[in-house]
Structure 1
Amino acid sequence: MTRLIQRAGVLTGTVLAATALTVTTAAAAGPPMPDFRGKALMDVFQTVDYRTRVDLHDVSGFKRNILWPLNWKVCTQSPAPGVELEGQALRIGVVKKTETCPKPAAKK
């Protein structure tokens, strides 16, 4: 009787682990990347999954630390809007809300 209970426990644990793995993989794929440019930095944190790594940098040229997300707005993002994130980090370029975003460099 004890062996039967142990075998049932192992089978149940295996099924639960496989189910959790499937759910995690499906959640990571998610919808395509929204366009955050021109929006508040806080919108990024409220939209992306908590498991997504978000790298922030000040694109004003002052190289300031981004300590309070409510004071910043998004100028650039990578990956581009519409692209799937696929487990990569999200790179966001920001400036203070009262500043204007710098013009992109002209392509040669």
Structure 2
Amino acid sequence: MRSTTVLALTLTALAACGGQPAQPPPPPPGPTGPTIITYTAPVPMPPETTPAAPPAGSQATSWTMPDLVGSVLQDAQDSIQRLTGYGIVLTTSHDATGAGRMQVADRNWKVCTQNVPPGAAITSSSRIDFGVVKVDESC
């Protein structure tokens, strides 16, 4: 649009000076209206999730509690998750010495007790708690 205005002013100036205005050049090829840009938003992908409990009828809804006494705490937790197919994701632990120490690095602790006895049935609603001490301590 601006180039057309400049061209018109140039032609007017030439005519005012006595020169012969030339025919304006033809418009450039292409669309003469505004350019329309279409944007299609990407379709979001669903997040990857692990089911909290197995789908009904596809896997066991109860499992047999293993004997995890003597295991490293991290390995005991992993064993429960593997056994249940993540039907039980969270287990708890406490300092078996009574000192109230926090289990920050689970690999540094070993299981001395478990609140669910080996061989007992556990379900996704079971609460499993391990009594633990540091790996270099005696139970």
1: CA distance, partners of 2:97 / 2:62: 32
CA distance in 1, matches of 2:76, 2:61: 16
Give the corresponding residue for 2:76.
44
**Structure 1 residues without counterparts, runs of 5 or longer:** 1-19, 102-108
Question: Alpha carbons of 1:28 and 1:67: their partners in 2 closer, same or farther (altered >3 Å)?
Answer: farther
For residue 69 of structure 1, report the CA deviation from its aligned partner: 0.6
- Once superposed, which parts of structure 1, at least 4 consecutive aligned residues long, lie more than 3 Å away? none
Task: Confirm or deny that 1:89 pairs with 2:127.
Answer: yes
The 1-side partners of 2:114 and 2:94 are apart by 10
Once residues 79 and 72 of structure 2 are traced to their aligned partners in structure 1, the CA distance between those partners, rounded to angstroms, is: 11
Q: d(CA) in 2 for partners of 1:28 and 1:72? A: 30
TM-score (ref. length: structure 2): 0.52
Aligned residues: 79
Unaligned runs of 5+ in 2: 1-54
Deviation at 1:27, TM superposition (A): 3.4
Quote the residue 2:56 is aligned against.
21
What is the RMSD computed on CA atoms of the aligned residues? 1.4
> Which segment is superposed worse, 68-77 or 40-49?
40-49
Q: Which has the higher contact order (CA 8 A, sep 6+)?
A: 1
Matched residue, 2:136: 98
CA distance in 2, matches of 1:33, 1:88: 10
Q: Which amino acid aligns with 2:70?
A: G
Question: Larger Rg: 1 or 2?
Answer: 2
1:44 aligned counterpart, secondary structure = helix
Which residue identity is paired with 2:57?
T
Give, in angstroms, the shift of residue 65 of structure 1.
Answer: 0.7
Identity %: 34
SS in 2 for 1:48: helix
1:62 is aligned, of 82, 99, 108, to 99
